[in-house]
Amino acid sequence: MIKTEKSSRESVTENVNLVLPSHANALGTAFGGTIISWIDITAAICAQRHSSSICVTASIDALNFLSPALVGDTVSLKAKVIYTGRTSMMIHVDVTAQNLKDRTPRKCADAYLTFVAIDEQRRPKAVPTLKLESDAERIEYELAAKRRESLLAQKAQPQSYNP
């Protein structure tokens, strides 16, 4: 039976990567694009687990790189659904880097992404409502609702370039 309501616990997705020399720039730190790709895939799996559907990335919002990840570090990503609309889901991804010698985790990046669930005809399809289980989740949900409002208002603005 398809669930109409799901908690974020049911789709939390964790992923660990090792920064290899092939991921690095001339400074020996991971390329932003590599980290973005890890963020996107971890969030996509989370959205697909929540919706039990194929999902596409509609937007990546407020992506911040806070500290570099060095070659040899492990990079851990944790993705969690924080908001659901009718067919869309907002996912928060937290990224931490860890040096294998001292093992102190450093916050490396975080991001908010919106995914849309897609049916066989590639049309947006309804997703289970997010079941909020704590006050922290309720606050996060309210903040995400505001974030989504400003995202959609921005999308509605006519885009023009007047040099």
Binding site for ligand COA (CB under 6 A): 56-59, 85-88, 114, 116, 124, 151-152, 155
Name the residue nearer to ligand COA (CB basis): 68 or 85: 85
Q: How far is the CB of 87 from ligand COA (least distance, A)?
A: 3
The DSSP bridge pattern shows strands 5-7 and 88-98 to be unpaired
Q: How far is the CB of 123 from ligand COA (least distance, A)?
A: 8
Name the residue nearer to ligand COA (CB basis): 20 or 56: 56
Name the residue nearer to ligand COA (CB basis): 71 or 118: 118
- Separation CA 1–CA 22 (nearest Å): 44
- Separation CA 77–CA 125 (nearest Å): 27
Name the residue nearer to ligand COA (CB basis): 58 or 71: 58
- Separation CA 76–CA 3 (nearest Å): 29
DSSP label of 67: S
**Please, is 159 exposed, middle or buried when counting C-beta atoms within 10 Å of its C-beta (0-12, 13-18, 19+)?**
exposed
Cβ-proximal residue to ligand COA, closest one:
85
- Separation CA 32–CA 27 (nearest Å): 12
